[in-house]
Structure 1
Amino acid sequence: MSFKIERGHILPSHNSRVNIEKNNSNIDFKDVLQQTIKGKEKIKISGHAQQRMLERNIRLQPMDIHRIEEAMEDLEKKGAKESLMIYKDMAIIASINNRTIITAMGKEDVDIVTNIDSTMIIK
């Protein structure tokens, strides 16, 4: 079986069906990338944070996401980089520059938090 390399992907050269499937998946990736670049996705949730949220039964509704986005904007204006945000019954640690939630926990689970430069209580 022979292969060819196209745009950093290894593709079998004899099977056009596989190439078509690869190209379709690249289109989906391009759409997602364009949406992200255009700013439609204002915050990200890391894989680690997603796992912790599942384990701790923490759910974010669209309004919660909006409030957290606003808080990140306020923190960025103040020069924050890594922040602890207390919101409702949860504590969120986020990278403000990357607009990424790093981890999440119930606020009663917060004992010691290190490597942050700011804290915000979201009301």
Structure 2
Amino acid sequence: MSTIDSLITRLQQIQPVGSPVTTPASRPGHARPQDGKFGELLEQTVRDSQPVKFSAHAQNRLQHRQISLTEPQVARLEKGVSNAADKGAESSLVLLDNLAFIVSVRNRTVVTALEQAQTSSHVFTQIDSAVIA
């Protein structure tokens, strides 16, 4: 075997030093989203991190009816809205303790608020879901 052949053989046997070359998809925790799910997941994460807002009408109703929400109640309302959003709801009736809220789920906005006494003879229209929070 010539010197050149022996060098070539030795070069072919050299193993790289350091970490192996990997692509982002092959790294743990860096799986590539499939079927365009990344955009949906990003949108849902951003939406769920937004607090529930109250429209001017809902704020007036709450104030007029002397309804004040505690932090735990607001947290339960937000969780209920997130659950409705996860199921694809657009407009929802959210029942919370003795209160009822009509919520635009897509905008995470409470449209109006009622007390239980006012809901007994009330018909709710243009909603596609109901949530007990």
TM-score range relative to shorter protein: 0.5 to 0.7
Gaps (5+ residues) in structure 2? 1-45
* Residue 61 of structure 1, CA deviation: 1.2
Q: Which residue of 2 aligns with 1:65?
A: 74
The higher radius of gyration belongs to 2
* Residue 57 of structure 1, CA deviation: 1.4
What CA deviation, in whole Å up to 9, does each residue of 1:66-90 have, x standing for no partner? Answer: 1111111110011110000111111
Q: Which residue of 2 aligns with 1:94?
A: 103
Q: Equivalent residue of 1:108, what SS?
A: helix
Q: Which residue of 2 aligns with 1:46?
A: 55
Cα separation, 2, equivalents of 1:73 and 1:100: 12
CA contact (8 A) 1:90 1:107 kept: yes
What CA deviation, in whole Å up to 9, does each residue of 1:37-90 have, x standing for no partner? Answer: 9x8751100000000001111111111111111111110011110000111111
CA contact (8 A) 1:58 1:105 kept: no
Identity of aligned residues (%): 34
Q: Equivalent residue of 1:60, what SS?
A: coil
Corresponding pairs, count = 86
1:1-123 residue pairs with structure 2 within 5 A?
Answer: 41-110=50-119, 111-122=122-133
Structure-2 change in CA distance of 1:116 and 1:58 (3 Å): same
Cα separation, 2, equivalents of 1:85 and 1:101: 9
**C-alpha RMSD over aligned residues:** 1.9
Q: Equivalent residue of 1:98, what SS?
A: coil
CA contact (8 A) 1:82 1:94 kept: yes
